[in-house]
Amino acid sequence: QVQLVESGGGSVQAGGSLRLACAASRNTYSSNCMGWFRQAPGKEREGVGVIYTGGGQTSYADSVLGRFTISQDNAKNTVYLQMNGLKPEDTAMYYCAAGLGGNVCYLESQYFAYWGQGTQVTVSS
E strands within the chain?
A: 4-7, 10-13, 18-24, 33-39, 46-52, 57-60, 68-73, 78-83, 92-98, 114-115, 119-124
3-state helix, strand, coil in the chain (%, to 5): 10, 50, 45
CB distance 14 to 4 below 8 Å = no
**Whole-number pLDDT of residue 103:** 83
The average pLDDT across 67-75 equals 97
Region for residue 41 given its phi and psi (left: phi exceeds 0; alpha: psi -120 to 50; beta: otherwise): beta
**Whole-number pLDDT of residue 75:** 96
**Whole-number pLDDT of residue 36:** 98
- For 4-44, the pLDDT digits (tens) are 999 999 999 999 999 999 999 988 999 999 999 999 999 99
**Whole-number pLDDT of residue 124:** 98
Please list the residues that pair with 6 across neighbouring strands. Answer: 22
Please list the residues that pair with 60 across neighbouring strands. Answer: 49
- For 88-111, the pLDDT digits (tens) are 999 999 999 999 887 899 999 999
Band (2; pLDDT cuts 50, 70, 90) = confident
